[in-house]
Amino acid sequence: MRELYLGRARSNPNKAPEVSERLEVRSAVAKFLTAGFVALVVVATPVAIWIWAEAERHALANAREFTQRLADNVVGPLITSQLLARDPAALELLDQRLAPWLANGSVTRIKVWDEEGRVVYSDKKNLIGQDFEHEEWARLLLDGGPATATLEPQTGDENEYEAHAGELVEVYARSASQSGAPMIFETYSSGEGVRREQQAVLMGMIPPMLLSLAALQLTQLIPAIRLARRIQRDQVTRHKLLRCAIEASDQERRQIASELHDEVIQDLSGLAYALEAEERRGPAELRPVFNNARSMLQSNIRSLRAMTSELYPPDLEEFGLKSSLLRLETPLVERGVALSLEIPDDLVLDRDREVLVYRVAREALVNATKHSLAQTVAIRIRQSGGRTEITVVDDGVGFDPHGSRPEGHFGLRILGDTIRHAGGTLDIRSTPGSGTSVTATFGVCTPSARWYSRQSATPPGRNSAISSST
């Protein structure tokens, strides 16, 4: 896909910036929608859990209310002294009254306990008369506490017939016999009804909630698109200013180098020849003076020539980044400094990033050779995940990064500001006696190709190179 896009960019450079801009806006909108979807899920999940829990609480409250009415209106009036004495007729009468609720599935099991923990009635006849010890909650219920309801598997000693029924709704409600003695009325019902009610409530609440969140997301979409385009325009403007700053800086360097070479160095070279002539023709006792002056002058000329080569950057589009970096080795060799270069063969950079990489290497090498007294310098360039990193390491004397910066690092400070304006970072690490490491990290290419479409006066060679790297 990238090769196809690059091929289209080369064949139609005027259309490439528009395609690039649309892709960037679509990418920003896609990220916005993805973030919105994630936020929707994050918001909807706890809300769904809360709705599920509230539906269960509501269902259990209905079960308590139903059991309490059944205890007060049906069971309580039939708990007579005959039923407590296990009279068959009294038990049969209560069976008949409770048969409709057992038949329609409203309840699956019924028990009535007295305050001593004895089962006085159950639809399972063999449970009648059995004694179980009351727990604290049962004593509280007998003293007038509220009814309780739980939804869980039943595994207690008294749950011989419910142990394998799965989840059951167990409700305990307080009742009273005809004589006024407190009783506990217990019912079991299937948990499927509660789960169905939970699902019904959840399905009734989730769609409108999701639609509301989706409507909010779509409402924010148009402002998000406008914001993405505005940010992109700001990035393009910042990039244009950065390009102008870099080109102005290079132009100033070329002008200074040209003036040094055409005027100062030429004049000094002429003065050196004049001193050499005077040394030969002058008095013998002044020859050492002329010789020393000529040697100092020639040394300064060599320094100025080296300075002009450092000031005047090579044409990166003509020589390429790797060849341009290798050209920096010449002044290092004259000073006895060894240089190693590690650069990937498939490095992809636009012109501006190539200039930044070159300037980081150049400034770091200048500081390493002139101020760090380094013997070896290594340049390593890596590219991964749309980010480019250049690291320059030397074995010089180093310095304290937390102290005042030496004057020799002024160029790196200016370069650091330029890199930060380009959206990158510059990290300088050093320890006295342990050398210095300079690392710059920035993106592979410019924020947008729109600016290139406005450069109608750009020569074809340069325009094609920029388009292919973008």
pLDDT tens, residue by residue, 397-451: 888 776 665 554 556 677 777 777 777 888 888 888 888 899 999 876 544 433 3
CA distance 367 to 356: 17
pLDDT tens digits for 269-292?
A: 888 888 778 778 778 777 788 788
Q: How many domains does the chain have?
A: 2
CA proximity to 448, closest of 228, 193, 173, 133 = 228
Do residues 465 and 327 both lie within one domain?
Answer: yes
CA distance 197 to 194: 5
Q: Is the pLDDT of residue 252 over 60?
A: yes
Q: Which residue is listed with tokens 């009415």?
A: 69
With beta carbons less than 8 A apart as the criterion, state whether 283 and 291 touch: no
pLDDT tens digits for 86-126?
A: 888 988 898 888 888 888 877 888 889 888 888 888 888 88
CB neighbours of residue 109 within 10 Å: 20
Q: Which of 2-6, 31-35, 241-245, 294-298 has the highest mean pLDDT?
A: 294-298
CATH number at residue 73: 3.30.450.20
Indicate whether 91 belongs to any domain. yes
With beta carbons less than 8 A apart as the criterion, state whether 464 and 13 touch: yes
CA proximity to 455, closest of 151, 16, 47 = 16
Do residues 327 and 467 both lie within one domain?
Answer: yes
Average pLDDT over residues 318-341: 83
pLDDT on residue 9: 41
pLDDT on residue 458: 38
Cα 186 to Cα 114, 328, 347, distances in angstroms: 11, 93, 78
pLDDT on residue 439: 92
Secondary structure of 308-340 as H, E, C letters: HHHHCCCCHHHHCHHHHHHHCHHHHHHCCCEEE
Q: Is the pLDDT of residue 1 over 70?
A: no
Which one has a higher pLDDT value, 444 or 38? 38
pLDDT on residue 277: 80
With beta carbons less than 8 A apart as the criterion, state whether 107 and 153 touch: no
With beta carbons less than 8 A apart as the criterion, state whether 101 and 70 touch: yes
Indicate whether 226 belongs to any domain. no
Q: Which residue is listed with tokens 């209905």?
A: 62
Q: Is the pLDDT of residue 394 over 70?
A: yes
Indicate whether 256 belongs to any domain. no
CA distance 318 to 443: 23
CA distance 49 to 42: 11
Q: Which of 167, 190, 213 is the last residue of a domain?
A: 190
Tell me how many degrees the CA angle 300-305-308 measures, rounded to the nearest 5: 125
Indicate whether 177 belongs to any domain. yes
250-256 contact pairs (CB < 8 A, 24+): 250/313, 250/355, 253/311, 253/312, 253/313, 254/311, 254/312, 254/313, 256/311
Q: Is the pLDDT of residue 379 over 90?
A: yes
pLDDT on residue 19: 55
Q: pLDDT band at residue 7, thresholds of 50, 70 and 90? A: very low
Which residues on neighbouring strands pair with residue 167, listed in sequence order? 153
With beta carbons less than 8 A apart as the criterion, state whether 172 and 142 touch: no
Indicate whether 228 belongs to any domain. no
CA distance 470 to 468: 5
Average pLDDT over residues 12-17: 45
pLDDT on residue 461: 37
Do residues 320 and 467 both lie within one domain?
Answer: yes
Characterize 381-403 residue by residue with b for buried, 16 or more Cβ atoms within 10 angstroms of its Cβ, and e for exposed: bebeeeebbbbbbbbbbbbeeee
Of 66-75, 273-282, 356-365, which range is least confident?
273-282
Q: Is the pLDDT of residue 206 over 50?
A: yes
Q: Which of 190, 224, 245 is the last residue of a domain?
A: 190
Type of residue numbered 194? V
Do residues 332 and 185 both lie within one domain?
Answer: no
Indicate whether 161 belongs to any domain. yes
Q: What percent of the chain has pLDDT over 90?
A: 4
Tell me how many degrees the CA angle 83-86-91 measures, rounded to the nearest 5: 60
CA distance 187 to 68: 10
| DSSP E strands, 46-202 | 109-114, 119-122, 148-153, 167-176, 182-190
* Domain interval for residue 356: 316-470
CATH number at residue 391: 3.30.565.10
Indicate whether 232 belongs to any domain. no
Count of residues in the chain: 470
Indicate whether 67 belongs to any domain. yes
Do residues 177 and 326 both lie within one domain?
Answer: no
Q: Which of 132, 165, 190 is the last residue of a domain?
A: 190
Type of residue numbered 455? Q
Backbone angles phi, psi at 372, to 5 degrees: -90, -10
CB neighbours of residue 72 within 10 Å: 15
The CA radius of gyration of the chain, in Å to the nearest whole number, is 45
Q: What is the dihedral of CA 270, 275, 280, 285, to 10 degrees?
A: 180
With beta carbons less than 8 A apart as the criterion, state whether 358 and 313 touch: yes
